[in-house]
Structure 1
Amino acid sequence: MEGIIEMNQVSKTFKDKKAVNNLSFCIEKGSIVAILGPNGAGKTTALSMMLGLLDPTEGDIKIFGKHPKDQAVREKTGAMLQEVSIMDRLKVKEVLDLIRSYYPQPMDMNVLIRLTGLAESDLKRFAEKLSGGQKRNLGYALAMAGNPDLLFFDEPTVGLDITARRRFWESVRELAGQGKTILFTTHYLQEADDAADRILLFHRGSLVADGTPEEIKSRIVKRSVSFLARQEGPRLREILKTLPVLSDFYDKEGRIYVNTENTDLVLETIFAEKLEVRDIRIDQGRLDEAFEQLTISQEEAV
């Protein structure tokens, strides 16, 4: 696969603080990649270096095989950062027309409006009069105005309602299906779990995990099988204690949870023993649990 972004032993130091520490990874064409990490993990600094807004202290960055500041790279790149700066006294359509005019092959205006959910009435309004959510939609439209092959989104859905968030991620998947590459940061871990093909987990400027959401969860988080007792009482729990496969259990919100690395074996045991249970569910683990365990383990290592 074609490597769109290549980071080779990249570090960034501000005075005596190393914000990014020896990052190396390659992002392939058409992928949706999430960068996760707690505040101060180096996510925005890494994005800024990939965009050419900051120069690395050490290491090498290639975008489309070129320096991030190369004109050919800029023409194929779009970005929506956390703060969207919009020119005053221009209407939304005027702003979009202006930004589109800077690119050799801009995105069709009708396609741009459809993807971002901007209404006809929004196009006629002065940009500074838009609500917070509308400004985020405009920021998304500006990022795509040049019909880029690579898109950077820094906390893209902050300030958006549920409908707007769903529309945003549907459009992102459509863009990835066209071969465009998307890199985003988010504090909404469920979004990363649902949308990303790959997750890069940062902590204290270093890359501590790299893989699909399922790979990260399967390496870190134990799965569980949960169920309800058909008749409440101590008898079922006493039986569970005698069965090694089911003995690691706990109660939570009225359900009994069995921790396991082999959900199939747990289910086989439940049916073989004809246990009096109902409403059986399998929990594959959550990304927030993996996130917490990885960052805590890194703190302990330090």
Structure 2
Amino acid sequence: MNGTAIELRGVGKTFGRVQALHDLNLTIRAGELTALLGPNGAGKTTAIGLMLGLLQPTAGTVRVLGGDPREARTRTQVGAMPQESALPGALTVREAVTLFARMYPAPLPVTEALALADLLPLAGRRAGALSGGQARRLAFALAVVGNPAVLYLDEPTTGMDAGSRQAFWAAAERMKAAGRTILLTTHYLEEAERTADRVIVMNAGHLLADGTPESLRARVATSRVRFTSDLVLAELRHLPGVEAAGVDERGHAALTTRTPEALVAALVQSGTPFRELEVTRASLEDAFLSLTAQASPAAVSA
């Protein structure tokens, strides 16, 4: 699927004297799963509120599927799974999903929405009797039953067990394969790294970084190489490509490098005995922490 699903141009938002967003320019491509990340206070919630039509920008324009997100015809094409949902506790799971389905012009079949959320075995249970993870799955069913073209997921897997998380991400992948545009916010950065086509990092109301998980990891561009040997710190630092090195009293060395293959090859060629070799690449979390630690108001594009 090609084209633009969401577009923010020159968007600013103030709350009294607080400037929550500063001249934000952002385009979300149709058919992609985009992770919107940032520390608390970064402006993510405000940006999503604007995209949902719950807030009006102080400056600039917000377009969703080519229309005003506050208009009914746009809202009927949008689904949202907020971090906290007020569920109709007296209704059964099936009744709640059926009620929501009737609010949309072309909803999914209720049974399909329940299956996507792995809720068919719980369809007859009252919503108020669900566990925390089950309630999150119901919130997902309510978000997708309208058959949205754009789907917002705010901390979707909070409270879910490992099995429910796996089922949830399988459902999200099916939604994306069907051409839906998904915008995700999460503190589980390993989930964003594994599932997102694109990652956007915000900080203090500014766009800080925008790229694929791979391109953001490349900004850190370091791998960790760990092993145990008799090499002293000065010798470790002279291995090729070492950017930082440390060694403890038991000979456990920890090195960072942009060229782990060359470092390990040199270690082998040196003939120095070593054991317990471990090589790990920089993660999205490493990149996120590095980017936000060096936060600058200027937008950077990967």
Q: Same fold (TM over 0.5)?
A: yes
User: How far off its partner does 1:240 sit?
Assistant: 2.9
Q: Which residue is equivalent to 1:4?
A: 5
Q: Which residue is equivalent to 1:258?
A: 255
1:246 and 1:26 map into 2 onto residues whose CA distance is 38
Contact 2:233–2:246 under 8 Å retained in 1: no
Superposition pairs for residues 212-227 of structure 1, below 5 Å?
A: 212-227=212-227
In the alignment, structure 1 residue 17 sits paired with structure 2 residue 18: yes
Superposition pairs for residues 13-92 of structure 1, below 5 Å?
A: 13-92=14-93
Tell me the secondary structure at the aligned position of residue 21 of structure 2: strand
User: How far off its partner does 1:5 sit?
Assistant: 0.7
Q: Which residue is equivalent to 1:116?
A: 117
- Across the aligned residues of Structure 1 and Structure 2, the Cα RMSD in angstroms comes to 2.2
Q: Which residue is equivalent to 1:176?
A: 176
Compute the TM-score of the two structures, normalised by the length of structure 1: 0.90
Q: Which residue is equivalent to 2:201?
A: 201
1:172 and 1:267 map into 2 onto residues whose CA distance is 39
Q: Which residue is equivalent to 2:268?
A: 271
Residues 36-45 or 290-299, more deviating: 290-299
2:124 and 2:244 map into 1 onto residues whose CA distance is 62
Contact 2:208–2:297 under 8 Å retained in 1: no
1:280 and 1:247 map into 2 onto residues whose CA distance is 18
In structure 2, the gaps of 5 or more residues are none
1:47–1:218 Cα change, 3 Å: same
User: How far off its partner does 1:131 sit?
Assistant: 2.0
1:116 and 1:24 map into 2 onto residues whose CA distance is 33
Structure 2 residue identity aligned to 1:128: G
Match of 2:245 among 246, 249, 259: 249
1:43 and 1:93 map into 2 onto residues whose CA distance is 32
User: How far off its partner does 1:124 sit?
Assistant: 1.5
Match of 1:295 among 271, 282, 292: 292
Contact 1:221–1:286 under 8 Å retained in 2: no
Q: Which residue is equivalent to 1:148?
A: 148
Q: Which residue is equivalent to 1:285?
A: 282
Structure 1 residue identity aligned to 2:208: V
Structure 2 residue identity aligned to 1:142: L
User: How far off its partner does 1:244 sit?
Assistant: 4.8
1:241–1:186 Cα change, 3 Å: closer
Residue by residue, what CA displacement relative to the aligned partner does 1:77-105 show, whole Å, maximum 9, x if unpaired?
A: 10011121122422221111111112222
User: How far off its partner does 1:108 sit?
Assistant: 2.0
User: How far off its partner does 1:110 sit?
Assistant: 2.5
| Identity percentage of aligned residues | 37
User: How far off its partner does 1:46 sit?
Assistant: 0.6
1:131–1:281 Cα change, 3 Å: same
User: How far off its partner does 1:177 sit?
Assistant: 1.2
* Paired residues, number: 296
Structure 1 residue identity aligned to 2:9: N
User: How far off its partner does 1:241 sit?
Assistant: 4.4
More helix by share: 1
